[in-house]
Amino acid sequence: MGKGDINRQKIVAAADDLFYRQGYVHTSFSDIADAAGIPRGNFYYYFKTKDEILAAVIDQRAHHLAETLAAWEAELADPRDRLRRYVDMLTAEQEHIAQYGCPMGSLCTELAKLRHALQSDAARMFEVVRAWLERQLKALGRARDARQLALHLLARGQGIALITNAYRDRAFLQREARELKRWLDAL
């Protein structure tokens, strides 16, 4: 990997973190350049607009999600265990969720409010997760209602993240994650 690729990755990683912690609107080119450790003058060589950076962040997040979910499939033979791992992701990220919300949900919500052209691209992150959840539910023998159940699970996770963030209540998140696991075990 060349220096240009490394710098580009630094910019995307810095923007990803800042968009999550500060929001897309409240993050400037200068913020990203400073966080990436790349002089602002060189920064424009890699990205001409903040929207180009946003598109790269969305692509990176979707790619990372797909890789993570594929790794769970390779690691865990039982689809129920994979679904439980998905719920565990909430508790593993509870500190960040309590402070900033869900990275996917908060970005999609912000872009929707802005009627931003890349909002539908951001929603692709949800589609990666929804499709994976649906495959796991089909593997559990729930082919007829797998899509509906996948959306239900996705929505519950987003709701849990939203309420946890609103109240900064990690105990709520932990209780709800246990309830989600009980629900999965009952399927």
Q: What is the pLDDT of residue 44?
A: 85
Q: CA dihedral defined by 39, 45, 46, 48, rounded to 10 degrees?
A: 100
Instruction: Answer yes or no: do 18 and 61 share one domain.
Output: no
Instruction: Answer yes or no: do 40 and 124 share one domain.
Output: no
Q: What is the pLDDT of residue 86?
A: 97
Tokens of 18: 């800042």
Instruction: Answer yes or no: do 32 and 55 share one domain.
Output: no
Note the pTM of the prediction, 2 decimals.
0.94
Q: How confident is the model at residue 154 (pLDDT cuts 50, 70, 90)?
A: very high
Report which DSSP code applies to 141: T
Structural domain boundaries, residue 130: 50-186
Instruction: Answer yes or no: do 71 and 161 share one domain.
Output: yes
Q: Which of 11, 28, 48 is the last residue of a domain?
A: 48
Instruction: Answer yes or no: do 43 and 69 share one domain.
Output: no
Q: What does the pLDDT look like over 37-82, one tens digit per residue?
A: 998 888 889 999 999 999 999 999 999 999 999 999 999 999 999 9
Q: How many whole angstroms separate alpha carbon 39 and alpha carbon 59?
A: 24
Q: What does the pLDDT look like over 102-126, one tens digit per residue?
A: 999 999 999 999 999 999 999 999 9
CATH number assigned to the domain comprising residue 37: 1.10.10.60
Instruction: Say if residue 1's pLDDT is above 80.
Output: no
Residue type, 106: S
